[in-house]
Amino acid sequence: MADVDLTSFGQDPWWIILVKALLIFVVLVLLTLFNIWWERRVVARMQHRIGPNVHGPFGLLQSLADGVKLALKEDIIPTAADKVVFLLAPVLVVIPAFVTFSVVPFGPEVNLFGTRTPLQLTDMPVAVLFVMAIASIGIYGIVLGGWSSGSTYSLLGGLRSSAQMISYEIPMGLALIAVFMYAGSMSTSEIVAAQDNLWFGLILFPSFVLYVIAMIGETNRAPFDLPEAEGELVGGFHTEYSSLKFALFFLAEYINMATVSALATTLFLGGWHAPFWIDHLYAGFNEGWWPVLWFFGKVLCFIFLFIWLRGTLPRLRYDQFMALGWKILIPVALAWVVLVAAMRYVSTNLTFDSRDLLIGGGVVIVLILAAGFLPFGRATDEDAAEPVGPTGTYPVPPMAAPVRGAAAPLTFPTGPDETVAAGATQES
C-alpha cells in the first residue's frame, strides 16, 4: 500500500483551487451531455432504431439542442404550489450532485500550470461518509419538490423517493464497511492507494454486487425508477416542473449516475490505477495524465451498465422493490460484514490466509444471494388463484345463477316488506 499524506491537500494556491472546481463543473456538464446522447444511441441500437444523428457529427449536439429547448420553454408555476419551496427544490437537488465530486480522486499528482498538485479537489479522513451525507441532501430536494407542487402524483413520487433512499442507503453503507475494514481508512485517496496490487471488487466481490444494486436504487434509475413511474404517477415528483427547473432535475439525475459510478470506481476498481495491471508493462501508465483516462473509462463502463439495464429490464412492482431491499440485500450485507470482520480478526491474530477465506466466504454469500431469487417457498399461480382467508376463502358476495332462455327478472327493494319486480308489484 502506497503512503498517502492527507496534509498535501489544502496547500494549493487559491487560483489552483478555483481552476480545479471549474474543471470539475465543466467536466460534469459535458459528461452529462455526452451520457444523454450515449443513452439515446445505445437504447436505440437495442430497439433497432437509429437515435440522434442529425445535430452535429453523429448527433453529438442533440443534447445541447435539448438543453436550449428546455431553457426556452415557458416556465409555469402551479397555482396551488408553495412558490418558494417549489423554486428551491431543484437547487437542493443539483448542488449536492456537484459537491460530491470534490473528494473524488481523478489521478495522482500532476503539474498543473507550473504547480505540483494532486488531481483531486480535496480529501479528508471521512471522505466516503462526506459523499454519502451530501448525496442524501439531494433527496430533500426531490421530496420538497413533490410536496410543494400541490399535486397528488408529485407528492406520491416524493414519498416513494424518500422510502427508496432509506431502503437502499442501508445496504449501500453496509457494503462499504467491508472496504473500510480492508483498507483501514475512509479517505478516498488512501482507499485507491490500498488497491495498488489487487482491487477490492475482486476480493470483496459480494460488497461490490451489493453496492451496484444499491446505487441503481439510490439514483432512481430503471428498473428501480419508481418515483418517476409514468404509468402510475404521470412523471412523479417532477410532474409540475417545466423549463430550466425541470432541466436541473434532469441534470442532477445524470450527475448522480456519474457520482455513484465514480465512487464505485474509487472503492472497488482501483480508482485511477491502470486496468488489468498493464502498468507492469509500462510504469508510466500510472503517472501523469494517463490515470485520468483509466478513471473515466471505468466510470463509463458503469454508465453503460445503467443504460443496459434501462433498455433491458422492466420496472419492478413497488412491493417487489421494497422486499428486495429489506428482505434480501440488508440481511446479506449484514452477514457479509460479520464474515469480513471475522476474516480480518483471523488474519491479524491467526496464521490463516485471509484472502483465500474472503474469496471462499464471498462465494458462500453469492450463493445465498442467488438462493434469495429462487422461487422456493413462494406462492405459485395456482396458489394465487385460490386465496385463503380466515374461513378458508376470502369473503366474496354470492352471484345469482343465470336463467337459461330468458333474462333474469329485475328486482328493486323499495322497503322492508315490498319488492318491485320487472312488470309486477308484490306486497307481503
Quick check: 48 pLDDT over 80? yes
> Mean pLDDT lowest for which of 84-98, 147-161, 228-242?
228-242
Contact 232, 239 (CB under 8 A): no
Rounded-to-integer distance, Cα 59 and Cα 34, Å: 10
For position 268, what pLDDT does the model report? Answer: 94
User: What pTM value is reported for the model?
Assistant: 0.79
- Kindly indicate the confidence band of residue 81, based on its pLDDT and cuts at 50, 70 and 90: confident
| Whole-number average pLDDT of the chain | 82
Range list of H helices, 350-417: 354-372, 381-385
Quick check: 280 pLDDT over 60? yes
Domain positions in the chain: 7-276+286-374
Q: Is the peptide bond before 171 cis (omega within 30 degrees of 0)?
A: no
Which is more confident, 378 or 26?
26
For 56, counting Cβ atoms within 10 Å of its Cβ (0-12 exposed, 13-18 middle, 19+ buried), the class is middle
Q: The C-alpha cell of 177 is what?
A: 464497511
Quick check: 365 pLDDT over 80? no
C-alpha distances (whole Å) from 198 to each of 8, 14, 44, 161, 354 are 25, 36, 37, 36, 14
For position 165, what pLDDT does the model report? Answer: 84
Quick check: 90 pLDDT over 80? yes
Quick check: 100 pLDDT over 70? yes
Which is more confident, 400 or 39?
39
pLDDT digits (tens, 9 = 90+) for 288-317: 888 999 999 999 999 999 999 988 888 888
Query: Which residue in 94, 264, 295 sits closest to 172, CA to CA?
Result: 264
Rounded-to-integer distance, Cα 43 and Cα 37, Å: 10
Quick check: 71 pLDDT over 70? yes
Rounded-to-integer distance, Cα 49 and Cα 115, Å: 49
Query: Which residue in 252, 245, 253 sits closest to 81, CA to CA?
Result: 245
- Kindly indicate the confidence band of residue 384, based on its pLDDT and cuts at 50, 70 and 90: very low
